[in-house]
Each structure stands twice: as structure tokens, then as C-alpha cells.
Structure 1
Amino acid sequence: MKTIVLIGLVLAISGVALARDLPEFIHVCKKNEPNLSECIKSSIINMKPQLKTGVPDYKIPSLEPLILKELVATAGGNIKLKLTNVIIHGASDFSLTKLKANLETLTFVADLDLPRLSLKGNYDVNGRIILLHIRGNGPMEGNVTNSKGFVKIQMKEYKKEDGESYLKVAEIKTKIFVQDGALHLQNLFGGDPVLGEAVNNAINSNFNGFVTEIKPALESAISNAFTDIANGILQQVPFKTLFPES
């Protein structure tokens, strides 16, 4: 669910390195590269260890774990669900299956496979979801397996005080496709063990239906998190340095 952040992050990271001494883990992709998309894809794959641990000197945050502070979902007024302090592990263990880059339109599109994500956090829920009335708040934990992510990043140029052109994220569209998983919500219905177990079993029997309800909020939160990270990195490097002519 989360590794979707990785794609855009890498596109930004390339520029950070070029603006300073180029670290070994960055593979430069020139603007006239015969196959620019494959070059960027290879660079991302090469940087997976650094994406996992983070590199503070280059403002590359660690993606293990990924922390989403708040997710709020409402489905047609029937449910109010808030997830807070969600800690996600496994985001860096991704496979980049496809990447397409277009420097003319400044558009970047990527597909990813995520074998397994584990998550912990807190929840507060009240309402009807997958035909069940659910009420409670407390700790939650779970896992998501065999997920796929799609991300489309639209960037744009802007001028800074130094007269140089820079890139920034104008829009990100994120889509998540979940194949399977399990979730456990503690303290449902005030800690009632019978109702709590019944609802947890129902959720896990229709896990995809439950995820569908919270997907829009999750996709939005991931997009917002990446936008902040990427723009913080991109503002350090001129466009011409990010993608040199030769």
C-alpha cells in the first residue's frame, strides 16, 4: 500500500544527488537517454537499500517504517472511520514492474507490486460498513498481501530567485489494488469479546470490501505524504541539473 511513495521519491532523489557530490548509489539519467524510462527504473531499483534506510545527508527519509499520521474515511455518510499513527512495514520490499517517463509533458507513471505490508495503529469507528454496524476504538493491526500500486505524477517547472528553473509536484494520482489481507480491531463494542470476534471475522471474510471503503482516504494520504517529501527534495536542484542534456 505504501510503496507507491517510492516511485516519485526516486524521481526527486536523482536531482538531489546531482546538485552535490554524486553518491555511488545514484545512476544518472541524461535527458537524451535512448531509453529514459528504463534508465530511471534501473536507478530506482539500484537505490532500494537507501530507500529502506534513508540518507539524511541527501534528505532521503527512511521508508521503514512508513508512518501515516491520520486517515479519515467516510462512505456515503454511513461510516466514520479514523485511523491514526499508522505504522507500515514492508514498503521498501517492492517490485517496480513498469515505469514510463515523459520529459516533454513532465509526466511519470509507474506500476508496482508489493508482496506484503504489515501495519499497526489506532482506530476509531462508528457506522455501517460491508452491511455491518461497527463501533469502537483502540489498537489495530493487520497485514496486506499481494498488493499492486499505480501512481501518476505530474510535475511542473517554476523559477526561483536564482533565476533557474526547478521542478515541483503539481499533482499525484495514486491507485491501490489489494488482493488479500487480514485485520484485527481491538476493543470493538467496548471490549465485548463475542461481538468483537464476530465483527473481526466478518471483516476478514470480506477484506476487499472493507479495504474498498478506506481506499480513497489511504490513496489521498499517501499522495499527500509523497508530495511533501518530493517537493522538499526537488527545490534543491535545477531542472537542467536533474536531467542534463548530455
Structure 2
Amino acid sequence: MFAIALAFVIVTTHVAAEIPSYIHVCGRKDPNLEKCILDNINNLKGKICEGIPELDIPSNDPLYLDKLVISESNSVKLYMKNTEVSGLCDFTMNNFTVNLDTLRFAIKISFNRMYMNSTYDFNIRILVPIAYQGKVYITTGNVDADVNLNFKMITKGAKRYIYLSKILLNLDIKDFENHYENIGNLGQLQEIIENFIGNNNEEIVKTFKPALEEAVSKVIISVTNDIVKRFTYEELFPERT
């Protein structure tokens, strides 16, 4: 959903002849450009969630993440694999700012609730190695996201193009609930896992959040650049109100 929403930030400024009629075009000189783009995104949530084949925008709800590295030390290795993140369609765009001179965008998004279904992979060495895989289900509430995007411009064949060069993503995960499938039947490993995870959700978030932010950022960069590479800078930002 991050990637889909950010793609619309770009696409909604494109010339009318190149985009579907259901998108309201926002001119570069529109004095209310930021509000115009923000209104577009909020009005098109349904299509954002479903994906838009004619614009090569896939559905990203659920969002699939191959591997998240939570811990990778000599004694403790903990990964989350084949993660599905859902609930991303239930979002609110709180704020959007753009500086076309520096090609920088800033967005604030709130999600009411997010769900993650994943496979956890523990490999813990105490006296002997202990390894186990199983399903984990995580639910978070009231997640806020600050997204800062830096674009760069290049020239190809006398035409100017932009691409997303850097993204700073900060997720504010206030709390979460987790359930480990069949963990009650693991004996000693159950105790090890519970001691490792502990009962302090704040510490878990500190460990888990950077891995999730990095994985989501890669998706945003990939999807956004797949879209903007098809249009010149002048097409993306026509000089009109």
C-alpha cells in the first residue's frame, strides 16, 4: 500500500491524455497542488487497493515480503519468512508536501490496524543448536508512517526523467499482539523463545521495526521507479494550473 499510494502521488500530476478519466489531473502551477494530490489519493483508495493494470500498478494488499532479519548473531538467529502484510487499505493520508525545485516529497499516513502472517525461523545455540520453524500471527493497531522521498533527474535523448533515489521511512508501531502457532508443544524451546522475546513489546518493536522499514522501502522504490520511468519530467509535471 505504501508503494501504491506513493505511485499515485506521481501519476495524478500526469497529463490528462495519458491517464484514465477517473484520475483528476493536478497541474504543476495549481496553487493547491498538494491538496489536489492528497484528495486524489483519498478518493481512489478502492482502485489503489485493487491495483490498476492499465498503469501496471499491481495490488499490494496483502504485501508480500520474502525475508525479514530480526536477529543474526552467532548465538541467536531469528528470521521471518514469506510474510503477508494486510490491512493496508485501511489508511488515512494525513499530510502531503512537495517541493518540485528539490524534487522532495513528504507524506504522513495512518493505518488503523495491520496484520502480519509469517513463518518464524529460530536457530538458537546454547549448549547444542536448537532450530525450529512455525507460523506467527501479528496484529498492530494505530500505526503511523512518515515517508520522505528524494528524487533525482537525469537526461536521456534530450528528455528529462526523474527517479526515486532515496527514501526515509519511519514507522511508529505503538503496540502489537502476537501468537506463535503450536509453541505450547515445544518444551525447552518454548521457554527459550519466550525468554528471548520477553514481555516487553517496546523492545520487540525496536528490533523488528528496522527490518520491516527496510523491506517496505525496497518495494516502494521498485514500484515507484517502474511507473515514473515511462514518463518524462514534463509529462509528469505539466506547467499549468
Q: TM-score over 0.5 for the alignment?
A: yes
1:1-246 pair list within 5 angstroms: 3-14=1-12, 18=15, 21-74=18-71, 79-126=76-123, 136-161=132-157, 163-186=158-181, 188=183, 191-192=185-186, 196=190, 199=193, 203=197, 205-246=199-240
Contact 1:72 1:83 in 2 (8 A): yes
Deviation at 1:114, TM superposition (A): 0.5
CA RMSD after TM alignment:
2.7
May I ask how many residue pairs the two structures share in their alignment?
236
Deviation at 1:173, TM superposition (A): 0.6
Deviations 1:110-137 (A, max 9, x none): 1111101111121113459xxxxx9632
Q: Provide the C-alpha distance between the structure 1 equivalents of 2:18 and 2:7, rounded to a whole number of angstroms.
A: 19
Q: Provide the C-alpha distance between the structure 2 equivalents of 1:147 and 1:41, rounded to a whole number of angstroms.
A: 19
Q: Provide the C-alpha distance between the structure 1 equivalents of 2:76 and 2:2, rounded to a whole number of angstroms.
A: 26
Percent sequence identity over aligned pairs: 30
Q: Provide the C-alpha distance between the structure 2 equivalents of 1:83 and 1:19, rounded to a whole number of angstroms.
A: 43
> Residues 196 and 80 from structure 1, CA distance in 2 versus in 1: closer, same or farther, beyond 3 angstroms?
same
> Residues 144 and 135 from structure 1, CA distance in 2 versus in 1: closer, same or farther, beyond 3 angstroms?
farther
Q: Give the AA of the match of 2:81.
A: T
Task: Judge which range, 172-181 or 76-85, deviates more.
Answer: 76-85
Contact 2:15 2:238 in 1 (8 A): no
SS in 1 for 2:12: helix
Task: Judge which range, 140-149 or 178-187, deviates more.
Answer: 178-187
Q: Give the AA of the match of 1:136.
A: Y
Q: Provide the C-alpha distance between the structure 2 equivalents of 1:215 and 1:49, rounded to a whole number of angstroms.
A: 27
> Residues 195 and 215 from structure 1, CA distance in 2 versus in 1: closer, same or farther, beyond 3 angstroms?
same
Q: Give the AA of the match of 1:57.
A: E
> Residues 95 and 56 from structure 1, CA distance in 2 versus in 1: closer, same or farther, beyond 3 angstroms?
same
- Decide which structure has the larger Cα Rg and report it: 2
Q: Give the AA of the match of 1:159.
A: T
Task: Judge which range, 138-147 or 17-26, deviates more.
Answer: 17-26
Q: Provide the C-alpha distance between the structure 2 equivalents of 1:172 and 1:126, rounded to a whole number of angstroms.
A: 32
Contact 1:37 1:99 in 2 (8 A): yes
Q: Give the AA of the match of 2:117.
A: K
Q: Provide the C-alpha distance between the structure 2 equivalents of 1:147 and 1:36, rounded to a whole number of angstroms.
A: 27
> Residues 243 and 92 from structure 1, CA distance in 2 versus in 1: closer, same or farther, beyond 3 angstroms?
same
> Residues 200 and 183 from structure 1, CA distance in 2 versus in 1: closer, same or farther, beyond 3 angstroms?
farther
Contact 1:81 1:123 in 2 (8 A): yes
Q: Provide the C-alpha distance between the structure 1 equivalents of 2:115 and 2:70, rounded to a whole number of angstroms.
A: 20
Q: Provide the C-alpha distance between the structure 2 equivalents of 1:194 and 1:184, rounded to a whole number of angstroms.
A: 18
Q: Provide the C-alpha distance between the structure 2 equivalents of 1:210 and 1:202, rounded to a whole number of angstroms.
A: 10
TM-score normalised to structure 1 length: 0.85
Which ranges in structure 1 are unaligned for 5 or more consecutive residues? 129-133
Which ranges in structure 2 are unaligned for 5 or more consecutive residues? none
